[in-house]
A and B are shown apart, each in its own frame.
Chain A
Amino acid sequence: SQQGEEDPQALSIQEGENATMNCSYKTSINNLQWYRQNSGRGLVHLILIRSNEREKHSGRLRVTLDTSKKSSSLLITASRAADTASYFCATGRDTDKLIFGTGTRLQVFP
């Protein structure tokens, strides 16, 4: 089952610009995670934010979480061509199961 939706589905920007992706989910969560996937490859964990946290930073990444709106955003600042990938949010609840959103395909042009 799919937990949530991400928007936009696709995003194209120039190097140096910021990229913002949004994720909405449906049920209560313990945490929300963001992953990156290069084409045809496995996923790489980027960042985890707990349900009692509102914002978290990791390098050029900034994640926000609004549990009242059941939404999260991922901001990549000063994007690079190497950031081109698909980005997925995933939610965790009481069990260890991770349920993924629909994903955003990011293209960064040099």
Chain B
Amino acid sequence: GAVVSQHPSWVICKSGTSVKIECRSLDFQATTMFWYRQFPKQSLMLMATSNEGSKATYEQGVEKDKFLINHASLTLSTLTVTSAHPEDSSFYICSARPKAERGYTFGSGTRLTVV
């Protein structure tokens, strides 16, 4: 079946540093990928839509200069949290849709802790 691989699974970083999270579709091409953020015991909030070869589309309230998204190939999207602060600590999950009218496949998530 369709697999989305996300790395790293967890990361701890110092305030002010940047962290890059990768999301790869392993056995299908994904022209579009999605990035979500999830706080403890809460639902997933869509942050942005990553479009291969073009700029990402950000949801209202999400700072595009803080959460840099790059989708340089049909199988890889990256999310970079720049100048991270403790309030950025969260669970970040990516997803892609292998085929139309099917469910989405999610990565295993990245637990980011900013200290």
Contacts and interface: CB of A to CB of B under 8 A. Distances in A.
A64 to B, nearest CB: 18
Given A33-B103, A48-B103, A97-B49, A42 B43 contact: no
Interface in B73-115: 91, 93, 95, 97, 101-109, 111
B67 interface: no
- Chain B interface extent, by class: 20 to 34
Given A88-B43, A88-B44, A101-B43, A42 B60 contact: no
B26 interface: no
B59 to A, nearest CB: 7
Interface residues of A, number: 26
Nearest to A10: B41
B8 to A, nearest CB: 14
A75 interface: no
Interface of B: 4, 6, 32, 34, 36, 41-46, 49, 59-60, 91, 93, 95, 97, 101-109, 111
Given A45-B103, A100-B44, 5 more contacts: A33-B104, A40-B109, A42-B107, A42-B109, A45-B105
28 contacts: A1-B45, A1-B46, A2-B43, A40-B91, A41-B108, A42-B93, A42-B107, A42-B109, A43-B93, A43-B95, A43-B106, A45-B102, A45-B103, A48-B103, A50-B101, A88-B43, A88-B44, A95-B49, A96-B32, A97-B46, A97-B49, A98-B104, A100-B36, A100-B43, A100-B44, A100-B45, A102-B42, A102-B43
